[in-house]
Amino acid sequence: MADVYLHGHHPSVLASHGARTAADSAAYLLPHLHDGLQVLDVGCGPGTITLDLAAAVGPSGVVVGVENVDGPLEQARSHAAARGDERTRFERADVMALPYAAGSFDVVHAHQVLQHLTDPVGALREMTRVTRPGGIVAVRDVDYASMAWHPASQEMTRWLELYHRLARLNHAEPDAGRHLVAWAHAAGLSRLTPSASLWTYATPEQCAWWGGTWARRTLESTFATQALERGLVTADELAEISAAWQDWSRHPDAWFAMTHAEVVAHV
Protein backbone atom coordinates (compact mmCIF):
# COMPACT_ATOMS: atom_id res chain seq x y z
CA MET A 1 0.00 0.00 0.00
CA ALA A 2 1.35 3.41 -1.00
CA ASP A 3 2.21 5.85 1.76
CA VAL A 4 -0.02 8.92 2.04
CA TYR A 5 1.41 12.11 3.50
CA LEU A 6 -1.46 13.41 5.60
CA HIS A 7 -0.12 16.95 5.91
CA GLY A 8 0.59 17.43 2.21
CA HIS A 9 2.76 20.24 0.88
CA HIS A 10 0.43 23.22 0.90
CA PRO A 11 2.24 26.53 1.54
CA SER A 12 0.73 26.63 5.04
CA VAL A 13 2.41 23.29 5.81
CA LEU A 14 5.77 24.22 4.29
CA ALA A 15 5.73 27.51 6.20
CA SER A 16 5.27 25.58 9.44
CA HIS A 17 7.96 23.04 8.63
CA GLY A 18 10.29 25.76 7.40
CA ALA A 19 10.38 27.26 10.88
CA ARG A 20 12.05 24.15 12.29
CA THR A 21 15.71 24.16 13.24
CA ALA A 22 18.16 21.52 14.36
CA ALA A 23 18.18 23.17 17.78
CA ASP A 24 14.43 22.65 18.34
CA SER A 25 13.99 19.45 16.31
CA ALA A 26 17.28 17.52 16.41
CA ALA A 27 19.04 18.61 19.60
CA TYR A 28 19.43 14.94 20.60
CA LEU A 29 21.49 14.35 17.44
CA LEU A 30 23.76 17.41 17.49
CA PRO A 31 26.25 16.03 20.08
CA HIS A 32 26.96 13.14 17.69
CA LEU A 33 27.92 15.40 14.79
CA HIS A 34 31.37 16.72 13.98
CA ASP A 35 33.36 18.05 11.07
CA GLY A 36 33.72 15.75 8.08
CA LEU A 37 30.71 13.45 8.52
CA GLN A 38 28.51 12.37 5.62
CA VAL A 39 24.85 12.77 6.55
CA LEU A 40 21.59 11.77 4.85
CA ASP A 41 18.46 13.65 5.94
CA VAL A 42 15.38 11.63 4.99
CA GLY A 43 12.16 13.58 4.50
CA CYS A 44 14.02 16.88 4.56
CA GLY A 45 11.02 19.07 3.68
CA PRO A 46 12.00 22.69 3.07
CA GLY A 47 15.51 21.93 4.31
CA THR A 48 15.96 24.16 7.35
CA ILE A 49 16.97 21.30 9.65
CA THR A 50 19.13 19.81 6.89
CA LEU A 51 21.07 23.04 6.46
CA ASP A 52 21.65 23.27 10.20
CA LEU A 53 23.03 19.72 10.12
CA ALA A 54 25.32 20.79 7.28
CA ALA A 55 26.66 23.61 9.45
CA ALA A 56 27.29 21.10 12.24
CA VAL A 57 29.47 18.85 10.06
CA GLY A 58 31.57 21.73 8.78
CA PRO A 59 33.10 22.52 5.41
CA SER A 60 34.52 19.05 4.94
CA GLY A 61 31.23 17.32 5.68
CA VAL A 62 28.65 16.25 3.10
CA VAL A 63 24.89 16.45 3.67
CA VAL A 64 22.17 15.18 1.33
CA GLY A 65 18.49 15.90 1.94
CA VAL A 66 15.87 13.75 0.22
CA GLU A 67 12.13 14.01 -0.39
CA ASN A 68 9.80 11.89 -2.51
CA VAL A 69 8.21 14.92 -4.24
CA ASP A 70 9.74 17.97 -5.89
CA GLY A 71 7.88 20.86 -4.22
CA PRO A 72 9.70 20.89 -0.85
CA LEU A 73 13.04 20.33 -2.62
CA GLU A 74 12.60 23.59 -4.53
CA GLN A 75 12.13 25.45 -1.25
CA ALA A 76 15.09 23.63 0.29
CA ARG A 77 17.35 24.70 -2.55
CA SER A 78 16.13 28.29 -2.18
CA HIS A 79 16.91 28.20 1.54
CA ALA A 80 20.37 26.84 0.77
CA ALA A 81 21.00 29.64 -1.72
CA ALA A 82 19.86 32.22 0.81
CA ARG A 83 22.40 30.86 3.29
CA GLY A 84 25.16 30.71 0.72
CA ASP A 85 25.34 26.93 1.10
CA GLU A 86 26.59 25.44 -2.15
CA ARG A 87 27.61 22.05 -0.71
CA THR A 88 24.34 20.57 0.57
CA ARG A 89 22.47 18.53 -2.04
CA PHE A 90 18.72 18.06 -2.21
CA GLU A 91 17.56 15.07 -4.21
CA ARG A 92 14.38 13.15 -4.89
CA ALA A 93 14.33 9.68 -3.33
CA ASP A 94 12.04 7.16 -1.64
CA VAL A 95 13.00 6.07 1.88
CA MET A 96 11.86 2.54 1.05
CA ALA A 97 14.37 2.28 -1.83
CA LEU A 98 17.16 4.78 -1.30
CA PRO A 99 19.37 5.23 -4.40
CA TYR A 100 22.64 4.95 -2.47
CA ALA A 101 25.11 2.12 -1.98
CA ALA A 102 25.31 0.28 1.31
CA GLY A 103 27.38 2.13 3.90
CA SER A 104 27.29 5.48 2.08
CA PHE A 105 26.66 7.68 5.12
CA ASP A 106 27.94 8.13 8.66
CA VAL A 107 24.57 9.43 9.89
CA VAL A 108 21.07 8.84 8.52
CA HIS A 109 18.43 11.07 10.09
CA ALA A 110 14.65 11.31 9.78
CA HIS A 111 12.46 13.84 11.56
CA GLN A 112 8.68 13.26 11.67
CA VAL A 113 8.84 10.67 8.89
CA LEU A 114 8.08 7.23 10.33
CA GLN A 115 4.64 8.30 11.57
CA HIS A 116 3.46 8.68 7.97
CA LEU A 117 4.67 5.32 6.65
CA THR A 118 2.80 2.06 6.28
CA ASP A 119 6.06 0.17 6.91
CA PRO A 120 8.21 2.14 9.36
CA VAL A 121 10.27 -0.94 10.19
CA GLY A 122 11.12 -1.43 6.53
CA ALA A 123 12.12 2.23 6.31
CA LEU A 124 14.46 1.80 9.28
CA ARG A 125 16.03 -1.25 7.65
CA GLU A 126 16.66 0.74 4.48
CA MET A 127 18.08 3.66 6.45
CA THR A 128 20.36 1.18 8.22
CA ARG A 129 21.48 -0.34 4.91
CA VAL A 130 22.93 2.97 3.71
CA THR A 131 24.63 3.66 7.07
CA ARG A 132 28.24 2.57 7.43
CA PRO A 133 29.22 0.18 10.24
CA GLY A 134 29.91 2.32 13.28
CA GLY A 135 27.55 5.03 12.07
CA ILE A 136 24.18 6.01 13.50
CA VAL A 137 20.53 6.08 12.49
CA ALA A 138 18.64 8.87 14.26
CA VAL A 139 14.84 9.28 14.26
CA ARG A 140 12.43 11.61 16.03
CA ASP A 141 8.63 11.42 15.90
CA VAL A 142 5.78 13.03 17.73
CA ASP A 143 3.15 11.13 19.72
CA TYR A 144 -0.16 12.79 18.85
CA ALA A 145 -1.93 11.25 21.85
CA SER A 146 0.47 13.18 24.08
CA MET A 147 -0.80 16.54 22.86
CA ALA A 148 -2.26 18.66 25.64
CA TRP A 149 -3.57 22.20 25.61
CA HIS A 150 -5.44 24.81 27.57
CA PRO A 151 -8.09 26.18 27.37
CA ALA A 152 -9.96 23.09 26.20
CA SER A 153 -12.51 23.18 23.40
CA GLN A 154 -14.71 20.58 21.76
CA GLU A 155 -13.54 21.73 18.33
CA MET A 156 -9.84 21.22 19.03
CA THR A 157 -10.58 17.83 20.59
CA ARG A 158 -12.50 17.02 17.40
CA TRP A 159 -9.43 18.07 15.37
CA LEU A 160 -7.21 15.58 17.21
CA GLU A 161 -9.80 12.82 16.83
CA LEU A 162 -10.00 13.53 13.10
CA TYR A 163 -6.24 13.48 12.76
CA HIS A 164 -5.96 10.10 14.48
CA ARG A 165 -8.74 8.63 12.35
CA LEU A 166 -7.33 9.91 9.05
CA ALA A 167 -3.81 8.72 9.84
CA ARG A 168 -5.03 5.23 10.66
CA LEU A 169 -7.23 5.10 7.55
CA ASN A 170 -3.95 5.72 5.72
CA HIS A 171 -2.47 2.73 7.63
CA ALA A 172 -0.03 5.04 9.42
CA GLU A 173 0.66 5.50 13.15
CA PRO A 174 0.05 9.03 14.51
CA ASP A 175 1.32 8.01 17.96
CA ALA A 176 4.63 6.94 16.43
CA GLY A 177 6.77 8.28 19.25
CA ARG A 178 5.91 5.49 21.67
CA HIS A 179 6.73 2.87 19.03
CA LEU A 180 10.21 4.04 18.02
CA VAL A 181 12.14 1.68 20.29
CA ALA A 182 9.99 -1.29 19.26
CA TRP A 183 10.32 -0.43 15.58
CA ALA A 184 14.10 -0.08 15.92
CA HIS A 185 14.31 -3.50 17.58
CA ALA A 186 12.12 -5.01 14.84
CA ALA A 187 14.47 -3.53 12.24
CA GLY A 188 17.39 -5.37 13.84
CA LEU A 189 18.87 -2.42 15.72
CA SER A 190 19.91 -3.12 19.29
CA ARG A 191 22.38 -0.46 20.44
CA LEU A 192 19.86 2.27 21.15
CA THR A 193 19.94 5.56 23.01
CA PRO A 194 16.30 6.61 23.47
CA SER A 195 15.18 10.01 24.73
CA ALA A 196 12.24 12.39 24.60
CA SER A 197 11.68 16.12 24.34
CA LEU A 198 8.83 18.60 24.13
CA TRP A 199 7.60 21.26 21.79
CA THR A 200 5.83 23.83 23.94
CA TYR A 201 3.87 26.90 22.85
CA ALA A 202 3.10 29.19 25.74
CA THR A 203 4.08 32.79 24.98
CA PRO A 204 1.62 35.02 23.10
CA GLU A 205 3.93 35.01 20.08
CA GLN A 206 4.32 31.22 20.07
CA CYS A 207 0.59 30.61 20.48
CA ALA A 208 -0.30 33.12 17.77
CA TRP A 209 2.05 31.35 15.36
CA TRP A 210 1.07 27.76 16.24
CA GLY A 211 -2.66 28.44 16.38
CA GLY A 212 -2.59 30.52 13.21
CA THR A 213 -0.68 27.79 11.39
CA TRP A 214 -3.21 25.12 12.28
CA ALA A 215 -6.14 27.42 11.59
CA ARG A 216 -4.90 27.60 7.99
CA ARG A 217 -3.91 23.95 7.71
CA THR A 218 -7.34 22.86 8.97
CA LEU A 219 -8.92 24.54 5.95
CA GLU A 220 -6.27 24.37 3.23
CA SER A 221 -3.97 21.37 3.62
CA THR A 222 -4.26 17.72 2.59
CA PHE A 223 -5.67 17.07 6.08
CA ALA A 224 -8.77 19.08 5.07
CA THR A 225 -9.02 17.50 1.64
CA GLN A 226 -8.85 13.96 2.98
CA ALA A 227 -11.28 14.63 5.81
CA LEU A 228 -13.84 16.00 3.34
CA GLU A 229 -13.28 13.31 0.71
CA ARG A 230 -13.73 10.54 3.28
CA GLY A 231 -16.93 12.11 4.58
CA LEU A 232 -15.58 12.42 8.12
CA VAL A 233 -16.43 16.11 8.46
CA THR A 234 -18.26 18.92 6.68
CA ALA A 235 -16.77 22.16 5.43
CA ASP A 236 -18.72 23.99 8.13
CA GLU A 237 -17.22 21.76 10.82
CA LEU A 238 -13.72 22.42 9.51
CA ALA A 239 -14.45 26.14 9.63
CA GLU A 240 -15.51 25.76 13.27
CA ILE A 241 -12.29 23.89 14.09
CA SER A 242 -10.23 26.55 12.34
CA ALA A 243 -12.01 29.30 14.29
CA ALA A 244 -11.34 27.40 17.53
CA TRP A 245 -7.63 27.35 16.74
CA GLN A 246 -7.75 31.10 16.19
CA ASP A 247 -9.64 31.65 19.45
CA TRP A 248 -7.13 29.50 21.31
CA SER A 249 -4.19 31.35 19.75
CA ARG A 250 -5.47 34.70 21.14
CA HIS A 251 -6.37 33.48 24.63
CA PRO A 252 -4.18 35.01 27.38
CA ASP A 253 -3.88 31.62 29.11
CA ALA A 254 -3.11 29.60 25.97
CA TRP A 255 -0.68 26.69 26.40
CA PHE A 256 0.11 23.71 24.17
CA ALA A 257 2.67 20.92 24.44
CA MET A 258 3.50 17.65 22.70
CA THR A 259 5.99 14.88 23.38
CA HIS A 260 8.50 13.66 20.82
CA ALA A 261 10.38 10.40 21.15
CA GLU A 262 13.91 10.14 19.84
CA VAL A 263 16.23 7.23 19.16
CA VAL A 264 19.90 7.18 18.24
CA ALA A 265 20.74 3.70 16.98
CA HIS A 266 24.40 2.69 16.66
CA VAL A 267 24.88 0.47 13.62
- What is the tens place of the pLDDT at every residue in 233-260? 999 999 999 999 999 999 999 999 999 9
- pLDDT per residue as tens digits for the range 165-191: 999 999 999 999 999 999 999 999 999
Number of domains in the chain: 1
Of residues 9 and 184, more confidently modeled: 184
Mean pLDDT of 99-119: 97
- pLDDT per residue as tens digits for the range 90-105: 999 999 999 999 999 9
Whether 3 maps to a domain, the answer reads: no
pTM of the model: 0.93
Which residue range(s) make up the domain with 61? Answer: 11-266
Whether 5 maps to a domain, the answer reads: no
Distance CA 131, CA 112 (A): 19
Question: What one-character-per-residue DSSP string does 46-59 give?
Answer: TSHHHHHHHHHT-T
- How many CA atoms lie less than 13 Å away from 57 in the CB half-sphere? 25
Whether 158 maps to a domain, the answer reads: yes
Identify the band that residue 3 occupies on the pLDDT scale cut at 50, 70 and 90: low
Whether 33 maps to a domain, the answer reads: yes
Contacts of 183 (CB under 8 A, 6+ apart): 114, 120, 121, 124
Q: For all residues of the chain together, what is the average pLDDT?
A: 94
CATH number of the domain that 247 lies in?
A: 3.40.50.150
Whether 2 maps to a domain, the answer reads: no
Q: Three-state SS for 111?
A: strand
* Buried/exposed code over 18-38 (b: 16+ C-beta within 10 A; e: otherwise): bebebeebbebbeebbeeebb
Whether 4 maps to a domain, the answer reads: no
Mean pLDDT of 76-99: 95
Whether 167 maps to a domain, the answer reads: yes
- Residue 188, CA distances (Å) to 124, 185, 261 in order: 9, 5, 19
Whether 30 maps to a domain, the answer reads: yes
